[in-house]
Chains A and B, each alone.
Chain A
Amino acid sequence: MHLAYPAVLAALLFSTGLYGVLARRNAILVLMSVELMLNAVNLNLVAFDVWLSRTARETLHSGQALTLFTIAIAAAEIGIGLAIVLAVHRNRGTADIDKLRDTAEPHGPDEATGTDDEKTEDEKAEATA
């Protein structure tokens, strides 16, 4: 098999995940896009491991071992990430990462409307909690 096929597919999947991370607004959709990027890297690792184990007589199988480690770390990452998202949702009432702007630099008069929005969101959260 031509090595360019899995490499190009991994590059396209990585770019798709990059678009999702940058363009999505819900935090869980951002986590899904992060998973896409991790899977693109995994595909690269597997393809190059299969190539090198035949071509360079590489017997360590470092690519496949690293793929297994990446999958396990991705599972841990998704657990921690979802716990953080749920904690944010419990405290703030939203999983919308565009609205979590507490550490942003205050600039101009539009800050007042932003805090008003957050206030209503927060009151809604505390009413539901």
Chain B
Amino acid sequence: MTLAAATATAAHVTTAASDTHGFLSPTGVEIAFLLVGLVTFGAALVTVTTRQLVHAALWLVVTLGGLAVEYLLLTAEFIAWVQVLIYVGSVVVLLLFGLMLTRAPIGRSPDADSGNRWAALAVALSSAAALVWVVVDAFRTTWIDLEGAAVGSTAVTGASLFQNWVLPFEALSVLLLAALVGAIVLSRKTKAESSSPPVNSRAATGSSPSVPDSRNHPIGRNGSVRGTESTEQDGAR
């Protein structure tokens, strides 16, 4: 009896849900999400296919900005602004600095794609087909209720973050500190190559992992002692 009642209730809820939501009458939020999503996906495609390296970074800005708009449409405003601040503001600037410091070519570089791009295309298309199929099949009848108060407003996110997630938050600050120190150590040029005794660098040659090709060309090592010494000091540290 109760089972039948529950089934009837469930059927009623299902019909009510199918009454209120429909594929053929999308809401304004869905239309906006679809349009911004098309722009985001197109910019992502250009990012991974363009042959001009700086343009790839600039199209990445469009992609990440589009994703910020999608977060806003999903009522997660704090995540959206964090996305704008961190990704668009700092990560893309870091990438542009990296392109500049590695002397990336400004114009079209013909060797931006490697030789296995057709295998990569096959892998990406098959993974896209599998993922889209599974996701659409799983969430065909699932709707997000966006009415009412925003679930991702700054007050809600901050309260949840500092009530329930304080310990991971603090651990994350330690991780950021470690990443900062690691980046400095990795990218620091060794100061005063002449001050270090050459005996140390000679002893470190055998176990230095950062000079794996030293056996290949002794000419290069004899020709320029300075560069090799700096790499050996990096490895010894």
Tell whether, in the assembled complex, residue B183 and residue A80 are in contact, meaning their CB atoms are under 8 Å apart.
Answer: yes
Within 8 A of A (CB), among B27-47: 27, 29-30, 33-34, 37, 40-41, 44-45, 47
- Chain B 117-143 near chain A by CB (<8 Å), digits 1 or 0: 101110111011001100110011011
A sample of 19 inter-chain contacts (CB < 8 A) reads A1-B33, A22-B124, A23-B117, A23-B120, A28-B53, A28-B95, A31-B95, A39-B87, A46-B76, A47-B144, A49-B152, A62-B165, A64-B160, A68-B157, A74-B86, A86-B187, A118-B213, A122-B217, A129-B227
Known A28-B104, A49-B151; 13 more pairs at CB < 8 Å: A1-B74, A2-B143, A12-B128, A26-B102, A26-B112, A32-B60, A42-B83, A50-B75, A51-B142, A59-B160, A61-B151, A98-B114, A123-B223
CA distance A40 to B151 in the complex (A): 20
What class of interface size applies to chain A in its complex with B? 35 or more
Q: CB < 8 Å: which of B127, B210, B226 contacts A15?
A: B127
Tell whether, in the assembled complex, residue A18 and residue B227 are in contact, meaning their CB atoms are under 8 Å apart.
Answer: no
What class of interface size applies to chain B in its complex with A? 35 or more
Which residue numbers of B lie inside 8 Å of A, CB to CB?
21, 23, 26-27, 29-30, 33-34, 37, 40-41, 44-45, 47-48, 53, 56-57, 60, 63-64, 67, 70-71, 73-76, 78-79, 82-83, 86-87, 90-91, 94-95, 97-99, 101-104, 111-117, 119-121, 123-125, 127-128, 131-132, 135-136, 139-140, 142-146, 151-152, 156-157, 160-161, 164-165, 168-169, 172, 175-176, 179-180, 182-183, 186-187, 210-213, 216-217, 219-220, 223-224, 226-228, 231, 234
